[in-house]
A and B are shown apart, each in its own frame.
Chain A
């Protein structure tokens, strides 16, 4: 099928070495809309929205900031938020711009997840969990389970 040229531009900017070293797509050859709608379908089965996931992630990162770069306990999690100089824009070109910030979070079973502020924004604003094989790809189901989210 023909591709929307705007998506083509987006697809190009999301490849490795354009905005980040390893890109947002990994070795996924689906196009971005497809990735988004596939993950959306997964979310629909459990009745949880991407926005809700993002809000939860954002709240945890915000709490984790209190650790000033070291692990600190937040609820049942251990969270470490590391900040770097310089900033990162959103590949969807929507004006989002945020300092580089990585959140490493561990639950009581010892499972660890890592996300960046760009991750949170991409999930919240665009429902985009990144392509399979991308360094910061987050599996929706895994996230939901990890964050212990329930459908309302």
Chain B
């Protein structure tokens, strides 16, 4: 075979593949480079200059603006909604469609985990999201409150402080452990006092199959670093009333504990009644602490309700569901606000009773996380 034939074959292949790769890299430079994009949030309240090309959720997180999201950008939770007023040429993507209703479509609401930053944008987000920060904390203490609830006390980095309203929640990030290869984050209410600015306490009830609670119950140790962001949520004390009716079940006690401390530490005049529902004695916790508060502050009444006490428990408190206690002990909704936190089934049952008693949507506040 002629040497020149081989040379020509190799040469032409090399040239052609070279030309093709140059074309690909040029188009990558041209097409994938969105340059510096300007993001205008809330009509000039914040102006960001960011590198384009990434999703809006991640881009904003890079600028320390944390949009709440529970699935971490997999388009399964539908929480990370923002209003995109300008800057997306496209309509809704197929992945967004199930989560955006007709009303929201008209207002240009999009899922920020699906929309990419491809040019200058104008957004509208809730003002409070600006206050959300990210914290890297030390795990100072982990205590078993019941057989399936753990309290984790976290110390903020030196010099860092957190300002939250009692009742708000944090997003807690897990780390890879066991079979779980990635970081997930979930929402947990803060159970510590809002006057404590360098510590935070969260309650974790083990959820079967739960990634994040599984992490806390199985892998997290004292001395570990933990990442979280917050505070989020509009579940906090309004106080336009004389008496606060508080109702909680399970780990729903967390925000209520914080609320109770907010009232007594600020010497607020409100009377408080706290109905805490549990099924069996082993589900009850923080009993001594609330009994002590009741002793020290006459304005506070603690009413633990046990649905199924055993004979040997020697239970002297209310027997039956929380709903029964509510039915008996609350006459009407006049001058009262209700604060609820617990499982959806319990909430629905309690809200129904409260509404029958004259409470309205304006005087019932609840945290359902869903």
Contact = CB atoms under 8 A, between A and B. Distances in A.
A33 interface: no
A84 B98 contact: no
Interface in A64-90: 65, 68-70, 81, 83-87, 89-90
Interface string A90-124: 11011111111110000000000000100000000
A144 interface: no
A101 B344 CA distance: 9
A60 to B, nearest CB: 15
B334 to A, nearest CB: 28
Contacts of B345: 65, 68-69, 81, 83, 101
B346 A100 contact: no
B158 interface: no
Given A21-B214, A99-B344, A101-B344, 16 more contacts: A16-B179, A17-B176, A18-B74, A18-B182, A21-B178, A22-B179, A69-B307, A69-B343, A85-B207, A85-B251, A86-B187, A86-B370, A93-B74, A95-B97, A99-B370, A116-B209
Chain A interface size range: 35 or more
Interface of B: 70-71, 74-78, 95, 97-99, 176, 178-182, 186-187, 205, 207-211, 214, 250-252, 279, 307-308, 321, 342-346, 349, 368-370
A136 interface: yes
B75 A83 contact: no
Interface of A: 13, 16-23, 65, 68-70, 81, 83-87, 89-91, 93-102, 116, 135-136
A87 B209 contact: no
A16 B214 CA distance: 13
Given A86-B210, A93-B76, A99-B344, A21 B370 contact: no
Contacts of A135: 209
- The 5 lowest CB-CB distance pairs between A and B, nearest first, are A95-B98, A89-B76, A83-B343, A17-B180, A87-B370
B75 A93 contact: yes
B77 A89 contact: yes
A91 B76 contact: yes
A17 B181 contact: yes
Do most interface residues of chain A lie in helix, strand or loop, or is the interface mixed?
A: loop
A85 B78 contact: no
A72 to B, nearest CB: 11
B369 A85 contact: yes
Contacts of B208: 84, 102
B369 to A, nearest CB: 5
B180 A16 contact: yes
A17 B209 contact: no
Given A18-B74, A136-B209, A97 B346 contact: no
B187 A95 contact: no
Nearest to A83: B343
A19 to B, nearest CB: 6
Contacts of B176: 17
Contacts of B369: 85-87, 99
Contacts of B70: 86-87, 89
A140 B306 CA distance: 38
A22 B251 CA distance: 23
Given A22-B179, A84-B343, A90 B76 contact: yes
Contacts of B78: 89, 95, 97
25 contacts: A13-B74, A17-B176, A17-B211, A19-B71, A21-B180, A21-B209, A22-B209, A23-B179, A69-B345, A83-B346, A84-B207, A84-B343, A85-B251, A85-B342, A85-B343, A86-B187, A86-B369, A87-B70, A93-B75, A93-B76, A97-B76, A98-B370, A99-B344, A99-B368, A101-B345
Contacts of B180: 16-17, 21
Contacts of A23: 179
Contacts of B181: 17
Given A22-B209, A99-B368, A70 B95 contact: no
A40 B74 CA distance: 28
B370 A17 contact: no
